[in-house]
Amino acid sequence: MELRTFHHHLLQGFMLLSFISNCCARFVVEKNSLTVTSPEKIKGTHDSAIGNFGIPQYGGSMAGVVVYPKENQKACKSFGDFGISFKSKPGSLPTFVLVDRGDCFFALKVWNVQQAGASAVLVADDIEEALITMDNPEEDSSSAKYIENITIPSALIEKTFGETLKKAISGGDMVNVNLDWREAVPHPDDRVEYELWTNSNDECGVKCDMLMAFVKDFKGAAQILEKGGYTQFTPHYITWYCPQAFTLSRQCKSQCINRGRYCAPDPEQDFSSGYEGKDVVIENLRQLCVFKVANETNRPWVWWDYVTDFQIRCPMKEKKYNKECADVVIKSLGLDAKKIEKCMGDPDADMENPVLKEEQDAQVGKGSRGDVTILPTLVVNNRQYRGKLAKGAVLKAICAGFEETTEPAVCLSGDVETNECLENNGGCWQDKAANLTACRDTFRGRVCECPLVDGVQFKGDGYSHCERENQDFICTD
Ligand SMILES: *[C@@H]1O[C@H](CO)[C@@H](O)[C@H](O)[C@H]1NC(C)=O
Ligand SMILES: *[C@@H]1O[C@H](CO)[C@@H](O)[C@H](O)[C@H]1NC(C)=O
Ligand SMILES: *[C@@H]1O[C@H](CO)[C@@H](O)[C@H](O)[C@H]1NC(C)=O
């Protein structure tokens, strides 16, 4: 067991390395500008790097007063323990807390500062280096609890700039700054192009759960934006390739399709049971083809329905993560199953798959966008999105991508409604004769839930069947 785990990690390391060394992974830091407006002697604009959590105010800016705490300067402990609060008095400027890098996760620092009532966090680097992105700790369930609740924005600043700020503060100056996200997303025209690098794997822990929750929550807004022609959305999926020398190994055979060309890690990290990496690659490929086929018929938004329905109806836990279940979802959404199968090609063939090849090529960064190596990644107008993957925050970033005055109403009101049940009953269960349907339009897109009729709750999956709980009055066919 130990050895297998070791080999597994080793192999994943190889897959990663072979990808990176092949195309020199480039990671672009999204900068937003930080301007010191007073005191006069340190006035000026500096780069800062947006953190991968919290809610950046895309399209807006925030002015505040910088405070450097006398104790707990790395913010690894709760400020309450030191009797420190950063709550600003009503009517005064928001408080930006300056903290030092080191000793604990970035996200924990930001959480501690938020708990103490501040409005934003500046983390001063502790070494001279180019700015990096502050990321979430990987797969840590204790931090997952607070990361979800981080709402204040944060940014990393360079060591020397941090020292300049500290010196001014300790000298008794009131330091005013302005953190500006208005140029964080390019906004050249009246259509926003955005892409989500995602994964169909529903058993990878905290990150997968967050991604799935986001897709479900964002679906309604995404579909309205797409139907209105305001956005052009493209889903993407990361795959690795198996190094040549390993293509015949058991690991590569179980994790890859097309003879080692396209691989994904084993979902349970266990080769001997459950689903294999290649099952994930195949479902990812199917989802890409669902998008392609839906897009060809000018209904690209059906992808959101497919992926959310697949999550609900075909989970790994219930051993339904397979083609049979996928086909039922495809059919319910009125998609052309033959075309999708043709698009997917033969996973056993010793040749490139054009759809996945295109995805691997797209993983390599171009222009202002770095390589995509982490999941999930959201790219808006070719800029990597930073911040929490949550509906409101993402909508803000997308809305910041429209040329001023061309923003669609959903950006201005946040009022989102869908009318998906009107078309093909939303792919949900229905009983035409009795005029009953499981389709219900909601703020978050349509859901398939068995109806409540005259006080009787119908039971079933909402997709293929619903029936009256009290069976006495049932007539079939
Ligand atoms: C996060 O917020 C939720 C909902 O507001 C709350 O139930 C939960 O306790 C919070 N978690 C932490 C660690 O504060
Ligand atoms: C989707 O369709 C649009 C217009 O028909 C096209 O411009 C775009 O490239 C297509 N996207 C993909 C990923 O095929
Ligand atoms: C079916 O039910 C809906 C709402 O429950 C109603 O608006 C519609 O008129 C009904 N159609 C028929 C044919 O009875």
Pocket probe for ligand 2: among 193, 195, 232, 290, the residue whose CB has the most ligand atoms within 8 Å is 232
User: What atom of ligand 2 comes closest to residue 292's alpha carbon?
Assistant: 14
State both tokens at 289: 């083809």
Q: What is the DSSP letter of 82?
A: G
pLDDT of amino acid 444: 54
Angle at the Cα of 381 (from 211 to 192), degrees rounded to 5? Answer: 90
Structural domains in the chain, sorted by start? 31-180 (3.50.30.30), 192-411 (3.40.30.10), 420-474 (no CATH)
pLDDT recorded at residue 97: 97
**Helices 206-227 and 391-399: angle between axes, nearest 10 degrees:** 40
Cα of 108 from ligand 1 centre, angstroms: 15
Stretches in the chain below the pLDDT threshold 70:
1-28, 138-141, 271, 368, 412-419, 442-445, 470-477
**Residues 257, 282 contacting (CB under 8 angstroms):** yes
Q: Residue 135 and residue 149: Cα distance in Å, rounded?
A: 15
Residue 472 is predicted with a pLDDT of 47
Q: Whose CA is nearest to atom 3 of ligand 1?
A: 149
Q: Cα(350)–Cα(353) distance, rounded to whole angstroms?
A: 9
81 CA distance to ligand 1 centroid (A)? 20
Helical spans, DSSP H, in 178-336: 206-227, 250-255, 277-296, 302-313, 323-332
Asked if 195 and 208 count as a contact pair (C-beta separation under 8 A), the reply is: no
Distance (Å, whole) CA 38 – CA 345 = 62
Residue 422's pLDDT is what?
A: 79
Amino acid at 287: Q
- 318-327 b/e (C-beta count within 10 Å ≥ 16 → b): eeebeeebbe
Q: Decide: helix, strand or coil at residue 398.
A: helix
Closest listed ligand to the CA of 437: 3
Return phi, psi of residue 177, to 5°: -130, 165
Helix, strand, coil percentages in the chain from 3-state DSSP, rounded to 5: 35, 20, 45
Q: Which residue has the tokens 């030191």?
A: 82
Q: Point out the ligand nearest to the CA of residue 293.
A: 2
Q: How many CA atoms lie within 13 A of 442 on its CB side?
A: 12
What's the CA-to-centroid distance between 477 and ligand 3, angstroms? Answer: 21
Residue 72 neighbours by CB distance under 10 Å: 20
How confident is the model at residue 332, as a pLDDT? 96
Which residues are CB-contacts of 183 (< 8 A; sequence separation ≥ 6)? Answer: 32, 33
End-to-end Cα spacing for the chain: 54
Q: Evaluate whether 92 touches 213 at the Cβ level (below 8 Å).
A: no
Calpha distance 199→237 (Å, rounded): 6
The pLDDT of residue 140 = 64
pLDDT of residue 328: 97
Q: Return phi, psi of residue 91, to 5°.
A: 90, -15
Report the nearest atom of ligand 1 relative to the CA of 149.
Answer: 1
Say which residues have a Cβ less than 8 Å from residue 461's Cβ, sequence separation at least 6. Answer: 313, 429, 448
Residue nearest atom 2 of ligand 2, based on CA coordinates: 295
Strand locations in 125-255 (E): 154-157, 176-180, 192-198, 231-237
Residue type, 222: A
* Ligand 2 centroid, distance to 363 Cα (angstroms): 18
Radius of gyration of the chain (CA): 25
Residues lining ligand 1, Cβ inside 6 A: 145-146, 149
Cβ-count burial of 171 within 10 angstroms (0-12 exposed, 13-18 middle, 19+ buried)? exposed
Where do we find the tokens 């997709």? 463
Q: What angle do CA 460, 465, 471 make, to 5 degrees?
A: 70
From the list 96, 95, 100, the residue with the least C-alpha distance to 73 is: 100
pLDDT at 305: 97
Helix (H, G, I), strand (E, B) or coil at 187: coil
